[in-house]
A = this chain, B = another copy of it.
Amino acid sequence: MNFSNSHSTQYSLFQKIEKIRRQKNKVPDTHITLAHGSGGKAMRDLIDDIFIQNFDNPTLSQLEDQARFDLASFIKQGDRLAFTTDSYVVDPLFFPGGDIGTLAINGTVNDLAMSGAKPLYLSCSVILEEGLPVETLRRVAQSMQAAAQKAGVQVVTGDTKVVHRGAADKLFINTSGIGIIPTGVNVSAHNIQPGDAIIINGELGNHGTAILIARGELALDTDIESDCQPLNNLVETILNVCPEVHAMRDATRGGLATVLNEFALGSGVGIRLDEQSIPVREEVKGVCELLGLDPLYLANEGKFVVVVGRENADTVVSAMKSHPAGKDACIIGEVIPSPSGVVFLKTAFGAERIVDMLVGEQLPRIC
C-alpha cells in the first residue's frame, strides 16, 4: 500500500474542512489591525489585496523574501549599479499634486536618476498605524503604481509592519531602489569646476508651499500644487545631448540652498547665484513673505540642479526646455573658484549675501 495515497484519502475530508476554514478566516477588515502585521494569514490577505494586485509583476508575485534579477540584463544597460533609500513621513498623506505614494516612488526614482542611472526596481516597505482605513492604504498603493508606471519602474519586493495606535502617525513608507548607470556617464559633485553653469529645471518651492497650505493651519487658498514628478526621463534627455554633465542633485528637503551648499563644500568651490533668474511663483513668494520663509530653502519634489561646463550650458537648457519636466529650465548661477564652500546670492538690488546651509527646521515632515 502506498502510504502517500492512503494519506491522501484519509485527509480528503480534512482538506475540505480546511478550505472552508481558510475561507471563513479571510479577514475583510475595513481598518488595519495588528494581525495585518503578524506575518500570518491576515497579512498575506492584505498583501494580496493591496500590493500584489496593484504592483502586479512577475518578480513580486513570486512572493519570495527577495527579488532576483539576472546580472546579464543589467550589463546590457550600463556598467554600474546605483542603490538608494528614502523613508517618507509626509503630513498630510494627501496634498494638492500628489500623496505619500507618488512621493515615495518619485523621490527614490529621482535619487537614482541624479547619478545618471536608469531607475529599474523599487522596494516598498510600509509601517502602518493600527486603525488606518484599508481604503487609505489602497489609494496610496494605487498612486504608487501609477507613479511607478509613469517613471518606468517596478515595485518588486516589500514588507508590512503594523504598530499600535499612537505608535506611528497613520502611514510611513520606505522605498529603496536600484538602477543602472550607462557606461561613460560620470555624474558626481566632485566634478564641479569653476566656470561651470548652474541650471535649474523650473519653479522653486511649490512642494513646500503646497504641503504648508494642505495642513490647513493657514487661512490661505491658492492653486499651488506640489511639483512631485519623476525626473529620470528628463535626465536621459540631458545625457543624450551632454553625456559629460558634471553634477546633478534634486532640491528636496532643505531646498536649492542646501544642494548648492553641499556642492560648494564637497567640491571646494564657491557658487554665485543671480536672484532675478531663479524662477519662483508669485504666490510662493507671497506665502514666504507672509511667514518669513525663504523660497531657496523650501522643499521641491520635481526640481533638480544640473551643473555643466559653461560651453554646454545653452545646449542643455534648450534640451531641457523641450521636455515637459524642464520647460522652465534656466541658468541661475555659476561656479567660482573661491571663496571655497560659500554660496552667494546677487540680489535684485545688486547686493550680495551669503546663502548658508539651513540651520534649524522650516517645515517638518515635508517628505
Chain A interfacial positions (CB closer than 8 Å to B) = 4, 7-8, 11-12, 14-15, 18, 21-22, 25, 33-35, 37-44, 62-72, 74-75, 78-89, 91, 111-112, 114-115, 117, 121, 123-127, 156-159, 161-164, 166-169, 172, 174, 176, 178-181, 188-189, 194, 249-250, 252-255, 258, 262, 266, 270, 297, 299, 336-342, 354, 356-362, 364-365
CA of A81 to CA of B81 in the docked complex: distance in angstroms?
11
Give 7 closest A-B pairs by Cβ, nearest first.
A40-B358, A39-B253, A39-B254, A176-B176, A85-B123, A66-B84, A174-B174
The distance from the CB of A251 to the nearest CB of chain B, in whole angstroms, is 10
Contacts of A358 in B (CB 8 A): 38-41
Q: Are B68 and A81 in contact (CB under 8 A)?
A: yes
Q: How many monomers of this protein are in the complex?
A: 2
Q: Are B163 and A365 in contact (CB under 8 A)?
A: yes
What 8 additional pairs, Cβ within 8 angstroms, besides A65-B249, A89-B167, A164-B364?
A14-B354, A39-B258, A65-B115, A68-B81, A68-B181, A85-B158, A91-B167, A174-B176
Q: Are B162 and A172 in contact (CB under 8 A)?
A: no
> Max chain B CB contacts within 10 Å: which of A65, A178, A341, A364?
A65
Contacts of A41 in B (CB 8 A): 356-359
